[in-house]
Chain A
Amino acid sequence: MADIIEMDRIVKIFPPSLVALDAVSVKFSKGEIHAIVGENGAGKSTLMKILYGMQPADSGEMLYNGKKVKFADPGEAILAGIGMVHQEIMLIPQYTVWENVVLGYEPVKFGGRLDVKKARELVKQKIDEFGFNLNPDAKVEDISVAARQKVEILKLLFRNVSVLIMDEPTSVLTPQEIPQLFGELKRLRDNGHTILFISHHLEEVLELSDRITVLRKGKKVGTIKTAEATKAGLAQMMVGREVIFDSIRKNQTAGEVLFETSALNYTDPDKRPRLIDVNIQVRAGEIVGVAGVEGNGQLELVNLIMGLIEPTGGSIKAVGEDITRKPILEKRKRVAFVPQDRANMGASIAANIAENVIMTHHRLDKRFTRWAGRILDFKQAYSFTDEIRKKFDVQMSSGEAVFKSLSGGNQQKVILGRELLLEAPFILLDQPTRGLDVGSIEYVHQRIIEMRAQKRGILMISADLEELFRLTDRIVVMHKGRVVADLVTEKTNVTEVGYLMLEGAAYEA
């Protein structure tokens, strides 16, 4: 097969010194699905953004159909026939499908007026041509995420794009929606389109792609045929060492109930019920997972437990005490909390690491203060930072460095260290591995398992089913603010949980 794109020794450096791409050379053939895999920060997205003209390369060349090209912006790339579908979907919700598709590329009548009939007809033709199951007159706000993604793809096809770049397209989909997307992508390939597919889900990559290029820390590890690849082999290429994928729980009987919500209700200021009669129990030495499509009440649950909002009914108990309306500091004596949003909830990125590390401790642990709690003991703060650095294997220069100078994985380790060393019996984890690379995820998982062995109670919210199945003892599924199922992990499977997440009702085979 002929090469449609050739990227030659591409270098990209983000100031001041992050080498995102280190002389990466890769060739894409016409009519293939080419997966680009790597950990977070390996340079996958950067490479594609350079191809798409969103970012300039610092050095290196690109050949497209044998000609040297350089796109100044995505507009030029689209004109040349290269389009990209981003992780976040960028459509106008109030517009219909066909309106979104033609936007910026409208067929016009005399005088520059939009030719509504023709536009709608053209979109309909494209939908039929590619066999997309879409209603051109539906409003985007009324259709599912999967359908919106199709609209994004359709938008590019409407502009006669022959190379499609997909940036982690499955991250917004439920397990049930993925096969359909894959079917469509394969059909596009058979139609002669070239598809570049960014992912870090190895199973998907193996299922979908023809060839795979692996990046690690900005360097190309290699390009292999999918037919010759295995999951373990790919993982090793990605991480540079072996990774274990199976469940890592050891059998252990759970102890007394450490955390409990009873008939928890929350109605938001706009009178919309967000949580309805939520009952969740976590025992000592138990990891309970909360599964659900984002926006089904997980955020409200976290905010209620932490005391950012007040429930409209029901109660929350931790370690035998009702903490529903207690001040946050009181809650923190019993609850450790690792938020999903490191920069906003987990740390002050402008403060130094030591100042971040002593938060909460400075009120609960007397060793950090003198004069009856009025004066901070910075010596203790720095030695505590060092303790976390050693125990949690943090790569950092010193406790005086600003928090934002740490990499994402190290930031999460610092936050994890701070929270786990609070020695609160109950731990609330909100997507604790979101945005981390495989190595860091592995590390965080080990720590969580350790906490379980220490007989602490853990409630973990995660969008990653693989992670939930790997770690949890039980999984509760949330759908539209309700707990629709409370399952023992060993007695269920991804299909069942995925179905419950989507439909909210029991799965009937």
Chain B
Amino acid sequence: MKRKILVNVVGVLLAFLLGAVVMLVQGYNPLETYYRLFEYSLAPGKIAYTLSKSVPLVLTGMSASVAFASGPINLGQPGQLLMGALLATIGGLYIDLPPLLMIPFLLILAMLGGALWSGVAALLKYWFNMSEFITTLMLNMIADFFTYWAINYPFFEKNANHPQTPFIAKSGWMPEWGNFNSSVIVMVLAFAVIWFIVNRSTAGYEWRLSGQNSLFSRLGGVNISKNYLVVMLLTGALAGLAGGLVVMAGPHRFIKDIGGNYAWDGVMIAMVANSGIILTLVFGFFFSVLQTGSLGMELITAVPKELIQVLQAVIVLIVVAGRGYFETFFAKLEARRKMRERIA
């Protein structure tokens, strides 16, 4: 456990060190830059905003983590996010309920949208034995163009000069207190539920063991295909939820490129987190710190915010590669110690 934390912390520190070298080579002051980065994202007035920004990262990250840990290689978070966002938007355009009902209703619609999209991939696997690794990626493209069509034609806001829908009903806007958006509460709830399912429920136990060794679980009586379907639907729903919240907390309508790069960042976060649910939350927040901080960094120093993307990638590389390396490193240390005992 301690070792696990160490690997992650050392990985992140090494990545920062490399980032500093890059900055030095280009003539920037790394200390000043990093100070601005964290000041802009973690200062008392700013942290609520950073938290809100972490919502889609953490939710898509958990989607990928749960899928990877259970076996299915669901890489359809971008498409599932868009479909969730679209369905929530449509609900918000045509239906108006009191906020207490409206918000849960739209969130459920968002989850349905995501689950529908991952469900298509699951069915393709069931009927034609097509790998979800391919189909989810392909469905991303379809979702991309389908939603683009939807906001250009059937749900297009009249007279807008940009592909977008009208605003959804006010009752469906996530309440905001200062910089703190209530979507963070939804994220924390989703985190708690997912953690409990994965670590405490019978189903979660079966998912994890099937993810580690599917043949063993099958021989143990686990219904692999049913679990596959459930995991696909659940992880789709999580990505869809992220999409719904992006609409309901942000522009309150579906605009072009609303999904941004959230979902791919989420997949990356799942990879750094080694598909662990708690680590996904931690890294999701950390990546949000980097991303929001990068705006401030660019504002105050001359360092372009693209550098943060480099930093993110380096973190992923070092932490993921380091995990394997540290194990052998510690093992060798131990062997050396034994060796010395032998000779003495």
B98 at the interface (CB under 8 A from A): no
Q: Is the CB of A347 within 8 A of B339?
A: no
A14-62 residues with Cβ-Cβ distance < 8 A to B are: 14-17, 19, 22-23, 58-59
Q: Is the CB of A308 within 8 A of B335?
A: no
A97-105, A130-138, A327-335, A486-494: which lies at the B interface? A327-335
A440 at the interface (CB under 8 A from B): no
Q: Is the CB of B219 within 8 A of A59?
A: no
A373 at the interface (CB under 8 A from B): yes
Q: Is the CB of A328 within 8 A of B213?
A: no
- Alpha-carbon distance A22/B343, docked complex (angstroms): 10
B162 at the interface (CB under 8 A from A): no
A227 at the interface (CB under 8 A from B): no
B218 at the interface (CB under 8 A from A): yes
Q: Is the CB of B218 within 8 A of A328?
A: yes
A186-194, A337-345, A452-460, A471-479: which lies at the B interface? A337-345
Per-residue contact bits, chain A 336-372, to B (CB 8 Å; 1 contact, 0 not): 0101000011111111000100111011100001000
- Alpha-carbon distance A61/B330, docked complex (angstroms): 27
B211-226 residues with Cβ-Cβ distance < 8 A to A are: 212-213, 215-223
A376 at the interface (CB under 8 A from B): yes
A375 and B334 in contact, given A15-B328, A348-B212, A349-B213 (Cβ under 8 angstroms): no
A360 and B221 in contact, given A22-B342, A376-B200 (Cβ under 8 angstroms): yes
Looking at the assembled complex, report how far the CB atom of B181 sits from the nearest CB atom of chain A, in whole angstroms.
32
- Alpha-carbon distance A329/B212, docked complex (angstroms): 19
B21-29, B123-131, B185-193, B201-209: which lies at the A interface? B201-209
B138 at the interface (CB under 8 A from A): no
Q: Which residues of A contact B223 (CB under 8 A)?
A: 327, 329
Per-residue contact bits, chain B 291-332, to A (CB 8 Å; 1 contact, 0 not): 000000000000000000000000000000000000010111
Looking at the assembled complex, report how far the CB atom of B328 sits from the nearest CB atom of chain A, in whole angstroms.
7
Q: Which residues of B contact A332 (CB under 8 A)?
A: 220-221
- Alpha-carbon distance A327/B208, docked complex (angstroms): 21
Q: Which residues of A contact B335 (CB under 8 A)?
A: 13-17
Looking at the assembled complex, report how far the CB atom of A366 sits from the nearest CB atom of chain B, in whole angstroms.
12
A258 at the interface (CB under 8 A from B): no
Looking at the assembled complex, report how far the CB atom of A414 sits from the nearest CB atom of chain B, in whole angstroms.
13
Looking at the assembled complex, report how far the CB atom of B228 sits from the nearest CB atom of chain A, in whole angstroms.
15
Checking B209, B221, B331, B332 against A329 with a beta-carbon cut-off of 8 angstroms, the contacting residue is: B221
Q: Is the CB of A376 within 8 A of B202?
A: yes
Q: Is the CB of A348 within 8 A of B331?
A: no
Q: Is the CB of B342 within 8 A of A23?
A: yes
Checking B220, B332, B334 against A360 with a beta-carbon cut-off of 8 angstroms, the contacting residue is: B220
A11 at the interface (CB under 8 A from B): yes
B209, B218, B221, B333 — which one has the most chain A CB atoms within 10 A of its CB? B221
Looking at the assembled complex, report how far the CB atom of A417 sits from the nearest CB atom of chain B, in whole angstroms.
14
Q: Is the CB of B213 within 8 A of A376?
A: no
- Alpha-carbon distance A360/B221, docked complex (angstroms): 6
Q: Is the CB of B220 within 8 A of A359?
A: yes
Per-residue contact bits, chain B 249-290, to A (CB 8 Å; 1 contact, 0 not): 000000000000000000000000000000000000000000
Tell me if B's interface is mostly helix, strand, loop or mixed.
helix
Q: Is the CB of B213 within 8 A of A348?
A: yes
Looking at the assembled complex, report how far the CB atom of B234 sits from the nearest CB atom of chain A, in whole angstroms.
15
Q: Which residues of B contact A363 (CB under 8 A)?
A: 202, 221-222
B205, B209, B219 — which one has the most chain A CB atoms within 10 A of its CB? B219
Q: Is the CB of B215 within 8 A of A344?
A: yes
Q: Is the CB of B213 within 8 A of A347?
A: yes
B3 at the interface (CB under 8 A from A): no
- Alpha-carbon distance A254/B209, docked complex (angstroms): 38
B208, B216, B335, B343 — which one has the most chain A CB atoms within 10 A of its CB? B216
A306 at the interface (CB under 8 A from B): yes
Q: Which residues of A contact B209 (CB under 8 A)?
A: 348, 351, 355, 359
Q: Which residues of B contact A14 (CB under 8 A)?
A: 335
Looking at the assembled complex, report how far the CB atom of B139 sits from the nearest CB atom of chain A, in whole angstroms.
30
Looking at the assembled complex, report how far the CB atom of A307 sits from the nearest CB atom of chain B, in whole angstroms.
8
Tell me if A's interface is mostly helix, strand, loop or mixed.
mixed
- Alpha-carbon distance A58/B332, docked complex (angstroms): 12
B338 at the interface (CB under 8 A from A): yes
A250 at the interface (CB under 8 A from B): no
Q: Is the CB of B334 within 8 A of A345?
A: no
Looking at the assembled complex, report how far the CB atom of A86 sits from the nearest CB atom of chain B, in whole angstroms.
25
Q: Which residues of B contact A369 (CB under 8 A)?
A: 202
Checking A346, A355, A375 against B200 with a beta-carbon cut-off of 8 angstroms, the contacting residue is: A375
Q: Is the CB of A347 within 8 A of B330?
A: no
A13 and B221 in contact, given A348-B212, A375-B201 (Cβ under 8 angstroms): no
A271 at the interface (CB under 8 A from B): no
- Alpha-carbon distance A308/B215, docked complex (angstroms): 9
A241 at the interface (CB under 8 A from B): no
Residue of A at shortest CB range from B196? A375
A109 at the interface (CB under 8 A from B): no
Q: Is the CB of A375 within 8 A of B219?
A: no
Q: Is the CB of B219 within 8 A of A376?
A: no
Looking at the assembled complex, report how far the CB atom of A107 sits from the nearest CB atom of chain B, in whole angstroms.
43
Q: Is the CB of B219 within 8 A of A308?
A: yes
Q: Which residues of A contact B328 (CB under 8 A)?
A: 15
- Alpha-carbon distance A339/B215, docked complex (angstroms): 11
- Alpha-carbon distance A375/B203, docked complex (angstroms): 8
Q: Is the CB of A348 within 8 A of B217?
A: yes
- Alpha-carbon distance A306/B222, docked complex (angstroms): 13
Q: Is the CB of A374 within 8 A of B202?
A: yes
Q: Which residues of A contact B334 (CB under 8 A)?
A: 15-17
Residue of B at shortest CB range from A359? B220
A369-400 residues with Cβ-Cβ distance < 8 A to B are: 369, 373-376, 378
Q: Which residues of A contact B343 (CB under 8 A)?
A: 59
Q: Which residues of A contact B339 (CB under 8 A)?
A: 11, 13, 58-59
Q: Is the CB of B338 within 8 A of A13?
A: yes
Q: Is the CB of B342 within 8 A of A17?
A: no
Q: Which residues of A contact B200 (CB under 8 A)?
A: 375-376, 378
Looking at the assembled complex, report how far the CB atom of A418 sits from the nearest CB atom of chain B, in whole angstroms.
9
Q: Which residues of B contact A17 (CB under 8 A)?
A: 334-335, 338
Looking at the assembled complex, report how far the CB atom of A347 sits from the nearest CB atom of chain B, in whole angstroms.
6
- Alpha-carbon distance A316/B332, docked complex (angstroms): 51
Q: Which residues of A contact B331 (CB under 8 A)?
A: 15-16
Q: Which residues of A contact B203 (CB under 8 A)?
A: 374
Residue of B at shortest CB range from A22? B342
Q: Is the CB of B212 within 8 A of A308?
A: no
Looking at the assembled complex, report how far the CB atom of B230 sits from the nearest CB atom of chain A, in whole angstroms.
13
Q: Is the CB of A350 within 8 A of B221?
A: no
Q: Which residues of A contact B332 (CB under 8 A)?
A: 15-16
Q: Is the CB of A348 within 8 A of B330?
A: no
Q: Which residues of B contact A355 (CB under 8 A)?
A: 205, 208-209
Q: Which residues of A contact B333 (CB under 8 A)?
A: 16
- Contacts A360-B220, A373-B202, A375-B201 known; list 12 others, CB within 8 Å: A11-B342, A13-B342, A308-B219, A332-B220, A348-B217, A350-B212, A351-B208, A355-B205, A362-B205, A364-B221, A376-B201, A378-B200
The 7 lowest CB-CB distance pairs between A and B, nearest first, are: A16-B334, A329-B221, A15-B331, A359-B220, A15-B335, A348-B213, A16-B331
24 A-B residue pairings within 8 Å (CB atoms): A11-B339, A13-B335, A14-B335, A15-B331, A15-B332, A15-B335, A16-B330, A16-B332, A16-B335, A17-B338, A19-B338, A328-B221, A329-B221, A332-B220, A332-B221, A345-B216, A346-B216, A347-B216, A349-B212, A350-B212, A351-B212, A355-B208, A362-B205, A363-B222
| A interface residues (Cβ-Cβ under 8 A, vs B) | 11, 13-17, 19, 22-23, 58-59, 306, 308, 327-329, 332, 337, 339, 344-351, 355, 358-360, 362-364, 369, 373-376, 378
